[in-house]
Every structure is written in C-alpha cells, then in structure tokens.
Structure 1
Amino acid sequence: MEQTELTQTPLQKIWVPWMSTLLQRRRGSSVPQFTNSPTMIVMVGLPARGKTYISKKLTRYLNWIGVPTKVFNVGQYRREAVQTYKSYEFFMPNNEDAMKIRKACAIAALQDVNIYLTHEQGQVAVFDATNTTRDRRELIINFSKENGYKVFFVESICDDPDIIEANILQVKLTSPDYKDCDKEKVVEDFLKRIECYKINYTPLHDEYDRNLSYIKIFNVGSRYLVNHVLDHIQSRIVYYLMNIHVTPRSIYLCRHGESELNLLGRIGGDSGLSERGKKFASELGLFMRDQAIQDLKVWTSHMKRTIQTAEALGVPYEQWKALNEIDAGVCEEMAYEEIQENYPLEFALRDQDKYRYRYPKGESYEDLVQRLEPVIMELERQENVLVICHQAVMRCLLAYFLDKSAGCKVESFFLNIEAVNTHRDKPENQIARPSDAPLYRHRRPVPLASPAPTKTPRLEDLGETSPPCSNHKLQHLASLELSPAIIYAFTPTIYSRHFATVKIFL
C-alpha cells in the first residue's frame, strides 16, 4: 500500500532581540525561543528563607516546559574561593577582606550567567544569592542592561521563627560549611550569620522599586505581592510560585491495569480492562487501603481503563481530560506492524525522534507536555494524590518529578500481577529518510532536565571554561519501559529533606 503524504512543513520560530545587538548572534540558535530576550531571575532575601529551594523548583519547572534554565548559586562560588569556613564573622559588614571575596564571587557568577545566556542557548538564568542591598541589586540591573537581559526579582520574606529554625535544621546541618559540626553550634552560628545580613538588608520597596519587576513571597506563601510583570515568562513564573507549597505529602503515579487492546498489541483506543487488569485494580485498592492515607484524592483520565482501575478503590475520583493517553491520530487502535506496513515513512520518522514526532492528526510527546502543564500545576497545589494514567502520560510526569537537581525521593511497589509488555524497542533496521523530508511537523520547546550546577566556580580566567549544557532527559524517558499497572511514588523535597513522596507501582 502506497503511503499518503502526511508530513507537513515544520514551522520556524523567529528570534527577536530585545535591547542589545549582542543578542543578534542567537538568531541561528537551534533551541526554540520562549522569550524575546534572555531573563535573569534574581533571588532576594535573608539566609534560611528558602531561596535555593525556590530556585531549584523554578528551574525544574521552566526546563520541563521547554525553557532552558540554569541556577547560579553564589554560595558555591564562595565555598570554592574560601575552602574553609570558620564562623559567622566572615559575613560581618566590617570584614573588608571577606566583602571583597564575596563581591568577586558574585561577579564571577554573573560572568557565567553571561556565558550561559549568550553562548550556550540558555534563556533563563536564576541568580541564587541573598542580594539584600540596593548596591548589589543595582550591580545586577546594570549588568543586565549592558547585556540586554530582562530582570525579575523573587524576594522571600519570613519572620516566623519556627519556619526559620526548621529550615536551618533541615538544610544547614548538611551544608559543607558545617561539616562534622555540633547541631547546637550550627544553629547558633547561622543565627548570628543572619544577624550580619540584617544590618544592611534593604527589602524591595513599593515606591523606590516601583519600576522593577518582582514578586514578594511572605512566610512560605501565606501572602504574595506582585509588581510590574512584563512578559509571558514572568507571568508563568508568578503563576508557578503562587501554586507551590511545602506541606508534607505523597504523590502516587500508577498506570492503568492491563487493557483488552494491550492484549491485542494495539495502541491507543478506549478499551476496558482485561481480566488481569481487573485483578490488578483490586490489588491496587487493597494496597491503597493499607497505606491509610488521609484525604487521598484520586485522579483518572476520561478513558475506560483508568476509570475502571479507579472504581476498584471504592473512593470518589476526579476525571481529567488532560490525563488522556497520547493521541495516535490515524494510527489509533493499530498494531505497530500495521503502522509499519501502511505508513512506513511515518514509522521511521517516529523511530528517529520519538519525542518530537507527531502522529498524523494526532500528538507528539512535545504536545503532551504542554497538555499536562495544568496537571503539574495542580499537583503542586495538592497534598496526597493518586494519579491513574497512561504510559506516555506517565513518562512526561516522571520527567518532571525525576529531575535530579530539584530532588525527589522515589519508591517503587510491585503488586505481583502479570501484564503484557507494551514497550517497543527501537528497531535496528530503519528505512532511510529522504533528504527533503522534514523530521518533525512542528518545532516546539523541548522539556529539559535541569543542568547540573557549575562544579568548579571560577574567580580567574572567567571566559575559558563553560558550565555543562542541559541534557534532554525527557527524550530518554519517551522510551522508558513502563508495564501496565505500574506505580511510582515521589517525595518532592523541600530544601534538602523529603516533604512529599512520589510512589510508583509496578
């Protein structure tokens, strides 16, 4: 059977520089642009206010939606410059030698920001430091203007002593600054360090800083103040920050039980559960009851196989259309052998780039990530949730929760119910792609794993070494083998401790 022409010409995005001609060099960038100029997210606040936690969460989110983002933690530069930390006296305002070192570290980090945004196709840089003085913020603003970057400040304000103490105990005890130190001495020294910063701390001011773009977060999200949001990325940042919370919780991800179409080796469709699938659903209900989780919410897609899996739990559940399986378009309910026979070029294109490939009249993994963003946002707002979903959907959710830089505790549970394996390995023999055949239908942002921080901050020869580039983790997860009836359990971390669990059922 001769294949009908299904592949369309790819759409191209155009880079429009904002202020500086220095950005013209980015016009040839192969990375789709989410912004019309690079953006610096600048953290502001006293120590132990969760700035690093916010930085990592934001970076994970922005990378997942396809905006190349990296954190630049000035504390790491300082620890590289000063190998041995002695006491809070290093942070005293009258310690001139230390002040010079700290400023040099900030400048070194800014130089790396410039390398990342100008030469490495980065679009957002998170500048993670206290930035508590107007002088330091003016330095950053001037640097951004010179290079044509937009600036968005995120100030974390907390006057609740219980939250501050909990943060110190959870994070600072494991900090390299306090390795092998007594707990009481750590708390005492760090509280004195905070007092050193308070001497010159000038919060963002409603009147003085009225022309700046910023969000203030009070006491871990009890109140917010947003000012002068300029563009789409800044509005997405505000939207995300107003949805996250730090309440301890568990998030369970579970693929539906084996379906009738799974048994036939056909993709998509809306079939019900097989007998083994029903048995798995029953075992899942018993398992969840044994967990004795209070106020557990259960989410499903609109498809029969997830709904039937949820009904076995005997609890109310919510249906999300956004959780529906990836739409295979004209290939719905076909076996892979049939797709290869009827649409050989489409079959080969998908094998060459499974993440970006879009089924004719259907979806790609790129499309699926965009569809799932409201689900991620709502998961960040919720407490204990069981999500019963599908293979492709679960891969995309895993790409978000398994971001190593943000940190997640992951547990797997095997319920010992057999099921068919719906995973298909990439074949060795592929037909050659014609030179004029586009590989993708559309170019859209690729969800990225958050890049690892620069391991060796530099105070000299700033231009010679570049931070590592982002790795496209979701492209790998697009081929992750997930059998029917799989459960993942995650614990998204606050600071360095586990405050939420993502649990996986296998």
Structure 2
Amino acid sequence: MKLYIIRHGETKLNALGRLQGWTDEPLNQNGKDLAIITGEALKEIPFDLVITSPLKRARETGELTVAASEKNFGRKIPIIEDRRIMEFNWGCWEGLGCLENNFEVPDPNYNIFYTDAFHYQGSPDGESVADVMERTVDFFNELIANPDYQDKTILIATHGCALRAMLNPLYENRDSFWQEHVPYNCAVTIIDVQNGQAKITAKDKIYYDESLCFDHYKVIDK
C-alpha cells in the first residue's frame, strides 16, 4: 500500500487568518490552483482511491489533485468520505480571528494549541487535540490493516491538525505535535505500508514554488 496524504488547498478563511475547523468553506482560487499544480506533478501516480474528509475544501482538493492522473490513465478514481479525518472542531469559536492583527479567541491559553498541543482543550463545545488524535489514528490503523487495500495507491485529503494528529505515531520526534509548522496548503506526505507497518518516505512535500508557501498560523502573545 502506498499513501499520499495531502492537506487541503487554501480557503478564504485561511487567507483571513480565521479559525476554520468544521466550517464548510470551499477552496479559494489560489487553493484550487495549488491543488491543480500538485495534481499535475502526481499525474503519473496510478491512484486507485481517494479517501477524503467530507468538508468541501478537502473533497475539492482530492478531486482536483487526482484529475490529471484520471486523464493520464483514462479512468475515474472512486472517492469515499470519512468523518474521522475532519479537522479540529472549534465549536462556538469557529470563524474567529486567530492572528495577532485580528485576534478574537476568548482563551488566554490559546497559544497552547501551538506550544503544547497534546494538552490543548479547545472551546467549551468543541474538541481537544487528544480527541482528534483518537479518531484520526483509529482511521489510519483501520486503513493500513484493511486486506482489500494492501496493493492500492490511495490519496487521503484532510486538514492540517488532523494530518499531524494522524501521523504523530510515525514521526521521528513524536513530542513535537506540529513538526515545526502547520503543513502548508497542498503539502503531501508519502507513506509506504508493508505487512501492516507504515513508514514515511517523504514529509510535507510541496510541488509548487516555495515562495507561495505561507504559514498563516503564528504563535502570538495573547
């Protein structure tokens, strides 16, 4: 089994620096462009399946990323959705500004989300990072153990926090939740699975010009 795990492309809320979570925001034009560029770079990959978060930005990214492969191989690639790989749920804080110049989150401990994510509890009606880890790791372990997928090449379209949570058991430094930064939009991590054992072979790989990478998520002093 070979897995290509991609974070969705940019959205309006990403560009504005607002908490997005389960808000069903579509890709903006830049987000679509990054997914198309990434897909062109991966057009020789014979994808068998796309598994995506049901949120629009992830599904659109999955569809755009495999479009060139579909054209190249002359076949439609099936897509299935799994709620376990949705993004961190911010609850009543969805849509609030989270950058230094627009900060609106009513949480004096917000920076813990970046500095000590494993212990971050989130909003009163949302999720903790531990909750996201539980559901995403459950998804991943079930996937790599599925006998029907052992010879398949699969694209997984998900989100920044969900991706880091899902892959935490595979990172060399598991104590660093964010691995230095949130995955860039349309960054791809490639994983080989042999006999139920998964290994990262490429981490946070981008296929577009590095000048287009921008980390909207900065630790701020609040």
- The TM-score, its normalising length taken from structure 1, stands at 0.33
| 1:299 maps onto 2:51 in alignment | yes
Rounded Cα–Cα distance in structure 2 between residues aligned with 1:499 and 1:400: 10
What per-residue deviation string (whole Å, max 9, x for no partner) do you get for residues 435-469 of structure 1? xxxxxxxxxxxxxxxxxxxxxxxxxxxxxxxxxxx
2:90, 2:201 → 1: CA distance? 28
How far residue 401 of structure 1 moved from its aligned partner, in angstroms, is 2.6
CA contact (8 A) 1:257 1:485 kept: yes
> What are the equivalent positions in structure 2 for 1:194-273 lying under 5 Å apart?
249-268=1-20, 269-273=23-27
Q: Deviations over 1:190-232 (max 9, x none)?
A: xxxxxxxxxxxxxxxxxxxxxxxxxxxxxxxxxxxxxxxxxxx
Given that 1:254 and 1:487 are in contact with CA atoms closer than 8 Å, whether structure 2 keeps it comes out as: yes
Please tell me the residue identity of whatever aligns with 1:324.
M
Q: CA deviation at 1:284?
A: 2.8
Offset at residue 332 of structure 1 (A): 1.1
Q: In structure 1, what is the Cα distance between the partners aligned to 2:157 and 2:137?
A: 16
Instruction: Look up the match of 2:133.
Output: 369
Summarize deviations over 1:158-208 as a string: whole Å, max 9, x none. Answer: xxxxxxxxxxxxxxxxxxxxxxxxxxxxxxxxxxxxxxxxxxxxxxxxxxx
In the superposition, relative to structure 1, how do residues 290 and 501 fare at CA in structure 2: closer, same or farther (>3 Å)? farther
**CA RMSD, aligned part only?**
2.8
The alignment partner of 2:44 has SS state of helix
Offset at residue 290 of structure 1 (A): 1.2
Counting only pairs closer than 5 Å after superposition, residues 38-117 of structure 1 correspond to structure 2 as none
- Tell whether the 8 Å contact from 1:250 to 1:501 is kept in structure 2 after alignment: no
**Distance of aligned partners of 1:350 and 1:377 in 2 relative to their CA distance in 1, 3 Å threshold:** closer
Alpha-carbon shift at residue 260 of structure 1 (Å): 1.6
Amino acid at match of 1:297: L
Q: For residue 71 of structure 2, what is the aligned residue in structure 1?
A: none
- Name the residue aligned to 2:93: 331
Look up the equivalent residue of 1:335 and give its one-letter code: G
Q: Deviation of residue 500 (structure 1)? A: 6.7
Aligned residues: 185
Contact preservation (8 Å) 1:259, 1:277 = yes
Alignment partner for residue 400 of structure 1, among 169, 176, 188? 169
Whichever of the two has the greater Rg, that structure is 1
Name the SS of the counterpart of 1:270 in structure 2. coil
Q: Distance in 2 between matches of 1:502 and 1:310?
A: 20
Structure 1's consecutive aligned runs of 4 or more residues displaced over 3 angstroms after TM superposition are 337-342, 348-352, 492-495, 498-505
CA change 1:490–1:274 in 2 (3 A) is same
Matched, 1:347 2:110: yes
> Aligned partners of 2:79, 2:94: CA distance in 1, in Å?
27
Higher normalized contact order (CA 8 Å, seq sep 6+, divided by chain length):
2
Q: Identity over aligned residues, as a percent?
A: 23
**Given the alignment of the two structures, is residue 476 of structure 1 paired with residue 170 of structure 2, yes or no?**
no
Q: What is the one-letter code of the residue matched to 1:343?
A: P
CA 1:376 to 1:333, structure 2 compared with 1: closer, same or farther past 3 Å?
same
SS at match of 1:376: helix
- Measure, in 2, the Cα distance between the counterparts of 1:388 and 1:350: 22
Structure 2: where are the runs of 5+ without partners? 68-76, 207-222
Shift of 1:341: 4.7
The Cα shift of 1:478 comes to 3.4
Question: 1:253·1:489 contact (CA, 8 Å) conserved in 2?
Answer: yes
Q: Distance in 2 between matches of 1:251 and 1:502?
A: 10
Show CA shifts across 1:267-309 (max 9, x none): 2122111212111222233233212x2x621111011111111
Q: Aligned pair 1:311/2:73, yes or no?
A: no
Amino acid at match of 2:88: I
Task: Give the match's secondary structure for 1:477.
Answer: coil
Q: Deviations over 1:383-408 (max 9, x none)?
A: 32211110001111221233x5xxxx
Give, in whole Å, the separation in 2 of the partners of 1:374 and 1:303: 19
- Pair 1:358-2:110 in alignment: no
